Amino acid sequence: MFQEKYKKANDSIPCNQELKNSLMKKAEAPSRNSLLPWICATAAVIGISVFSYMGFHQESNTDVLSSVASNTPAVSVSQTPKAETKKEKQKSEGTAGIVKQESDRVMAVAVAEQEEVKTETVIESEEPVSDIPATASVVMPKTVELEPDMDYSEEIPQPAEKTEVPENQQITGGGGAAMASVGGASMAIGASAPRGSETEDSALTEDADVETVDGETQGEESPQPTSTPMLEPALTEENAVSDSQ
Amino acid sequence: MQKKKSPVPEQTVIETYFNMVYKLALSQTKNKTTADDVTQEVFLRYLKHSEKLKTEEHRKAWLIRVTLNCSKNVFTNAWSKKTVPLEDELVFEEQETGEVYYAVLELPSKYRSVIHLFYYEDMSIEEISKVLERAPATVKSQLFRAREMLRKKLEGGEADVSGKIQKGE
């Protein structure tokens, strides 16, 4: 009985249908959390479209200003192709110039390499000559001039006779004789002053060889057979001077 | 009790439990307008936390618990202390039903909730203990004391009340 009466009393109390309907509508409506991604997406799309429109508007304004500055009709469409063609021409010319310059550079490099090769070959060809004592290159023409006049077969033993002279007198006397007799050749010797010591050394070695061997092994052990032409003209000239005296 | 998996549409939840929440709020607040406010607050909270409620049993228990808490807060917050609720009288067609209902409203709040859940919602003592987070013995003693109070107020209704309690046990 109590339960039935209590249930009847509660069931007889009407509910607030307006409140119930409002809560039902509230449940149907999507919440803000669900709308947030859509709001963000729409805001991003609107922002991107606005920025793109602003960028396009600025570009159009710059085209109009450039056309006005060049005193040409403000037709951006007609101006831009010309500028582009000019730029393209300049670019093509620039590329052609660059190609030419590059080809010239390549040619110059090739020529320079060839010249370097030539100079190297020349230097290589000259190096053996430089190895030869400077006196030989200078004295050789004199020997050619003296060949028809003198008889070498008879005068070859003469250096062997001078081996008896002391070393100091022989070096100084020999050099002095060469300087005095040749004249022009002394200039060449003087020009090759740095190598004078070498010539003196070679002369000393030659003299030493001459002293030790006494003329017998002169031709075999002498390191530079070209020294004989240096000595020969000197001797011949001395002989010639002596003959002339 | 059947256990249904979520998600359940929120409209169906409102349709199912609106009457329960409103009647429980009315039994606690004794005022229709205040019961409306409590009911609105309960379902607004439910719309925020509906995803956390997995089973139907959990959902019902959550709604009852939130309704009782909101009903208590109505009388404890500063705004309600400075206001006077409108006087509205509940009109019942039968006088006996009215007497029973007003006899329940005169009980203390802790006994009213137990009586309302036990007699109107047909919940067992264990279910009430789980919802109210009270021990079953406490719920049983509170139910016994509430029945004794009603017995004194309602002359001649003692047998029916005791018999219902025996069924529930």
- Cβ within 8 Å, pair B101-A9: yes
- The pLDDT assigned to B44 comes to 93
> Residue with structure tokens 């203990």?
B129
- The pLDDT assigned to A38 comes to 81
Instruction: With beta carbons under 8 A apart, name residues in chain A contacting B43.
Output: 23, 26
B165 touches chain A (CB under 8 A): no
- Cβ within 8 Å, pair A1-B36: no
- Nearest chain A residue to B43 by CA distance is A23
> Residue with structure tokens 């037709």?
A75
The DSSP output letter for A192 is T
- The pLDDT assigned to A83 comes to 55
- The pLDDT assigned to B40 comes to 94
Select from B66, B154, B128, B151 the least CA-distant residue to B162.
B151
More confident residue, A188 or A154: A154
- Nearest chain A residue to B161 by CA distance is A2
More confident residue, A187 or A60: A60
Interface mutation vs chain B, best among A7, A8, A10, A24, most B CBs within 10 Å: A10
> Residue with structure tokens 């109070």?
B149
B149 touches chain A (CB under 8 A): no
B57, B20 contact by CB (below 8 A): no
Query: Confidence band (pLDDT; 50, 70, 90) for A89?
Result: low
Query: Confidence band (pLDDT; 50, 70, 90) for A245?
Result: very low
- CA neighbours closer than 13 Å in the CB half-sphere of residue B123: 25
The DSSP output letter for A193 is G
Instruction: With beta carbons under 8 A apart, name residues in chain B contacting A1.
Output: 157, 160
Q: How far apart are CA A193 and CA A188, in angstroms?
A: 9
The DSSP output letter for A195 is G
B95 touches chain A (CB under 8 A): no
Highest mean pLDDT among A6-15, A85-94, A209-218, B92-101: A6-15
Interface mutation vs chain B, best among A11, A17, A23, most B CBs within 10 Å: A23
- The pLDDT assigned to B94 comes to 77
- Beta-carbon count within 10 A of A114 CB: 10
Tokens describing residue B60: 């019902």
Residue A116 pLDDT more than 90?
no
* Mean pLDDT, residues A214-224 taken together: 45
Under-50 pLDDT residues of chain B: 1-6, 158-160, 162-169
- A138's CB contacts (< 8 A; 6+ apart) are A182, A185, A188, A189
- CA neighbours closer than 13 Å in the CB half-sphere of residue A127: 6
> Residue with structure tokens 């508007």?
A57
- Cβ within 8 Å, pair B97-A8: yes
* Nearest CB to B100; choose among A2, A13, A23: A2
- The pLDDT assigned to A65 comes to 74
- CA neighbours closer than 13 Å in the CB half-sphere of residue A240: 21
Range from A131-140, A142-151, A175-184, B130-139 carrying the lowest mean pLDDT: A175-184
Q: How far apart are CA A76 and CA A66, in angstroms?
A: 9
B45 touches chain A (CB under 8 A): no
- The pLDDT assigned to A60 comes to 78
Tokens describing residue A41: 């997406």
- The pLDDT assigned to A141 comes to 52
- The pLDDT assigned to B114 comes to 94
Highest mean pLDDT among A12-16, A87-91, B152-156: A12-16
Residue A120 pLDDT more than 50?
yes
- Beta-carbon count within 10 A of B155 CB: 8
Instruction: With beta carbons under 8 A apart, name residues in chain B contacting A28.
Output: 11
Query: Confidence band (pLDDT; 50, 70, 90) for A58?
Result: confident
- The pLDDT assigned to A220 comes to 44
HEC sequence for chain B:
CCCCCCCCCHHHHHHHHHHHHHHHHHHHHCCHHHHHHHHHHHHHHHHHHHHHCCCHHHHHHHHHHHHHHHHHHHHHCHHHHCCCCCCCCCCCCCHHHHHHHHHHHCCCHHHHHHHHHHHHCCCCHHHHHHHHCCCHHHHHHHHHHHHHHHHHHCCCCHHHHHHHHHHHC
Contacts of range B29-33, beta carbons closer than 8 Å, 24 or more positions apart:
B29/B71, B29/B74, B29/B75, B30/B105, B31/B85, B31/B86, B31/B88, B32/A16, B32/B88, B32/B90, B33/B85, B33/B86, B33/B88
B97 touches chain A (CB under 8 A): yes
Instruction: With beta carbons under 8 A apart, name residues in chain A contacting B154.
Output: 2
- Cβ within 8 Å, pair B120-A15: no
A237, A146 contact by CB (below 8 A): yes
Tokens describing residue A123: 């230097």
Highest mean pLDDT among A116-130, A220-234, B4-18, B83-97: B4-18
Helix axes A167-182, A227-244, angle to 10 degrees: 70
Q: How far is A28 from chain B (nearest CA, A)?
A: 7
Q: What is the ipTM of this complex?
A: 0.82
**Pairs across A and B, CB distance < 8 A:** 75
Tokens describing residue A218: 């002169």
* Mean pLDDT, residues A227-233 taken together: 49
Query: Confidence band (pLDDT; 50, 70, 90) for A219?
Result: very low
Tokens describing residue B115: 């009586």
Q: How far apart are CA B38 and CA B68, in angstroms?
A: 9
Range from A87-101, A216-230, B40-54 carrying the lowest mean pLDDT: A216-230
Select from A131, A111, A108 the least CA-distant residue to A119.
A111
